[in-house]
Amino acid sequence: MSTGSSSSFDEILVESELRGQDKLKYLPHWPAVNITFEDVVYTVDSGVDNSKSILRGRRMDHLNLEQLVGKTWLEHHRQKIQIVPAQPKTLTHLPSRPPVELAFKDLTYRVKEGRSNNVKTILKEVSGRLRPGELCGIMGPSGAGKSTLLNILSGYKTTKIDGSITMNGKERNISVFRKLSAYIMQDNQLHANLTVEEAMNVASNLKLSQKVLTWRENECETLGLEEHRRTLTRNLSGGQKKRLSIALELVNNPPIMFFDEPTTRGGRTIICTIHQPSARLFEMFDQLYTLSDGQCVYQGRTKQLVPFLATLGLECQAYHNPASYIIEVACGEHGDHTKKLVNAIENGKKDIRSESDYEKVKPINGRTDLAKVHTTEANLKSTYEKNEKFSENQTGNGKGLLSAKVLNDIVKGDENAVSITVDDKEPDTTTALLSEETGDLSPERYPTSEFHQFWVVLKRTLLFSRRDWTLMYLRLFAHVLVGFLIGALYYDIGNDGAKVLK
Stretch that binds ligand ATP, among 137-145, 195-203, 209-217, 447-455 (CB under 6 A): 137-145
Q: Which is closer to ligand ATP, CB of 140 or CB of 400?
A: 140
Candidate segments 13-21, 53-61, 135-143, 156-164, binder of ligand ATP by CB under 6 A: 135-143
In order of 269, 305, 350, 373, 383, the CA distances from 354 in angstroms are: 20, 10, 12, 15, 9
Stretch that binds ligand ATP, among 71-79, 143-151, 280-288, 418-426 (CB under 6 A): 143-151
* Residues counted in the chain: 502
Q: Is the CB of 50 or the CB of 118 nearer to ligand ATP?
A: 118
CA-based nearest residue to 330, from 271, 259, 276, 261: 276
* Piece in contact with ligand ATP (CB under 6 A), picked from 144-152, 336-344, 377-385, 473-481: 144-152
Choices 9-17, 139-147, 194-202, 458-466; region in contact with ligand ATP by CB under 6 A: 139-147
- Can residue 113 be called a binding residue for ligand ATP (CB under 6 A)? yes
The one among 14, 65, 69, 111 contacting ligand ATP by CB under 6 A: 111
Pick between residue 146 and residue 374 the one whose CB is nearest to ligand ATP. Answer: 146
Q: Compute how many other C-beta atoms are within 10 angstroms of the C-beta atom of residue 75.
A: 12
Contact 279, 285 (CB under 8 A): no
In whole angstroms, the minimum distance from the beta carbon of 349 to ligand ATP comes to 21
The number of residues that bind ligand ATP (CB under 6 A) is 12
Task: Return the SS3 of 15.
Answer: helix
Residue 122 beta carbon to ligand ATP: minimum distance, rounded to whole angstroms:
4
Binder among 124, 146, 216, 340 for ligand ATP (CB under 6 A): 146
By CB under 6 A, residue 145 contacts ligand ATP: yes
Indicate whether 147 belongs to the interface with ligand ATP (CB under 6 A): yes
* DSSP β-ladder status, 295-301 and 287-292: antiparallel
Is residue 42 within 8 A of residue 58, CB to CB? The reply is: no
Among 94, 100, 136, 144, binds ligand ATP (CB under 6 A): 144
- The three-state DSSP-derived secondary structure of 29-86 is CCCCCCCCCCCEEEEEECCCCCCEEEEEECCCCCCCHHHHCCCEEEECCCEEEECCCC
Stretch that binds ligand ATP, among 78-86, 145-153, 204-212, 215-223 (CB under 6 A): 145-153
Options 46, 90, 96, 148; binder of ligand ATP; rule CB under 6 A: 148
Angle, vertex CA 104, rays to CA 245 and CA 399, nearest 5: 50
**150 φ, ψ to 5°?**
-65, -40
DSSP string, 93-150: TSPP-----EEEEEEEEEEE-TTSS-EEEEEEEEEEEE-TT-EEEEE-STTSSHHHHH
Question: Torsions phi, psi of 115, nearest 5?
Answer: -90, -15
Rg of the chain taking only CA atoms, in angstroms: 27
CA distances from 494 to 481, 484, 488, 497, 502 (A): 22, 17, 13, 7, 14
Q: How far is the CB of 457 from ligand ATP (least distance, A)?
A: 30
Q: Is residue 340 part of the contact set for ligand ATP (CB under 6 A)?
A: no
Report the nearest approach of ligand ATP to the CB of residue 329 (Å). 16
Asked if 238 interacts with ligand ATP (CB under 6 A), we say no
CB of 123 to ligand ATP, least distance (A): 8
Closest CB to ligand ATP among 109 and 215? 109
Decide if residue 120 touches ligand ATP (CB under 6 A).
yes
Distance CA 172, CA 348 (A): 19
Q: Where are the alpha helices (DSSP H) in 413-468?
A: 450-467
**Binds ligand ATP (CB under 6 A): choice among 143, 363, 398, 483:** 143
Question: Quick one: how many helices (H) and strands (E) in the chain?
Answer: 15, 14
Tell me if 119 contacts ligand ATP by CB under 6 A.
no
Q: Closest separation between CB of residue 259 and ligand ATP, Å?
A: 13
Smallest gap from residue 111 Cβ to ligand ATP (A): 4
Nearer to ligand ATP by C-beta: 123 or 182? 123
Task: Out of 100, 102, 103, 122, point to the residue binding ligand ATP (CB under 6 A).
Answer: 122
In the complex, the smallest distance separating the C-beta of residue 126 from ligand ATP, rounded to whole angstroms, is 12
3 state DSSP class of 255: coil
184 binds ligand ATP (CB under 6 A): no
CB 177 within 8 A of CB 158: no
Considering beta carbons, is residue 120 or 381 the nearer one to ligand ATP?
120
Alpha helices (H) along 224-278: 238-250
Strands 170-171 and 119-130: unpaired
With CB under 6 A as the contact rule, the residue among 140, 224, 300, 322 that binds ligand ATP is 140
CA distances from 19 to 144, 320, 321 (A): 19, 12, 10
| x-marked contacts with ligand ATP along 60-99 as a string, rule CB under 6 A | ----------------------------------------
Residue 409 has φ and ψ, to the nearest 5°, of -55, -45
Least separation in angstroms between residue 149's CB and ligand ATP is 7
Q: Of 249, 251, 223, which Cα lies nearest the Cα of 237?
A: 223
Q: Which of residues 310-339 bind ligand ATP (CB under 6 A)?
A: none
Query: Could you tell me the smallest distance in angstroms from the CB atom of residue 113 to ligand ATP?
Result: 5
Residues making contact with ligand ATP (CB under 6 A): 111, 113, 120, 122, 140, 142-148
